[in-house]
Amino acid sequence: MSLRKDAYAGGIVIGVLLIVLFGVIYFFMPHNQPEMTMRLGDGVFKTWLVTGPTSKDDKTNRLALVPKLDPVNALLIKYDHNNRWPVYMKDVKEPIDIVWLDSKKEVVSIVKNAQLDAVPYKAHEPTQKARYVVELVAGTVDKKAISPGQAAMFEFKNNQGSLDQ
């Protein structure tokens, strides 16, 4: 009987560990995958959505929060209000194109091929107030014919809600 109880207890422990393991995998997997699709210019991008800081003094680079960008990916940073949100190149490994969108999701400013900076980090700022910042692989703005005045379209997956919440 003791052998049967030990096997039963071991099975329960293994079952609990598997449930915890699958829970951890389920929790972390969505953060490694692009969250939505964005259309901008002639491009369609798998896009990570990140919430921006509420202060221009925050020099955290949101691109460091997602895996490496490639030509089909973008990082979209959503702010809670319009401002001239700067982008710092701290911890960025490769040059990027930066596109600022206003609250109507129209392109208001572009910086092409923003280079890696040494300390102190230079801020890249838009020419007008913006609500969203899009970071793309360098050269994407030209390749996908992205220009001021164009509107971006966001399509959500997995019932993620709206960026305007």
Q: What is the pLDDT of residues 15-58, one digit of tens each?
A: 777 777 666 555 554 455 557 899 999 999 998 888 766 555 55
Quote the pLDDT of residue 162. 41
Quote the pLDDT of residue 21. 66
- The token duo for 117 is 């900076």
Quote the pLDDT of residue 161. 41
In this predicted structure, the answer to whether residue 59 has a pLDDT above a threshold of 70 is no
If asked whether residues 7 and 82 sit together in one domain, one would say no
d(CA 78, CA 134): 9
Residue 70 covered by a domain: yes
User: What stretches of 102-150 adopt beta strand conformation (E)?
Assistant: 107-114, 123-124, 130-137
Characterize the bridge pairing of strands 153-156 and 36-40: antiparallel
If asked whether residues 117 and 94 sit together in one domain, one would say yes
pLDDT confidence band for 64 (50 / 70 / 90): low
Q: What is the pLDDT of residues 73-103, one digit of tens each?
A: 998 988 889 999 998 877 777 889 999 999 9
Residue 53 covered by a domain: yes
The residue whose two tokens read 């007008």 is 128
Residue 161 covered by a domain: no
Domains held by the chain: number: 2
Q: What is the pLDDT of residues 97-141, one digit of tens each?
A: 999 999 999 999 999 998 876 666 778 899 999 999 999 999 999
If asked whether residues 90 and 123 sit together in one domain, one would say yes
Residue 163 covered by a domain: no
pLDDT confidence band for 164 (50 / 70 / 90): very low
Domain that holds residue 28: 1-32
Q: What is the pLDDT of residues 150-159, one digit of tens each?
A: 999 986 555 4
Count of other CB atoms within 10 angstroms of residue 69: 21
Give the residue-averaged pLDDT of 143-163. Answer: 76
If asked whether residues 24 and 47 sit together in one domain, one would say no
If asked whether residues 137 and 80 sit together in one domain, one would say yes
Q: What is the pLDDT of residues 4-20, one digit of tens each?
A: 777 777 778 787 777 77
Quote the pLDDT of residue 1. 54
- The token duo for 84 is 């001239």
If asked whether residues 90 and 141 sit together in one domain, one would say yes
Quote the pLDDT of residue 92. 74
Return the higher-pLDDT residue of 24 and 68: 68
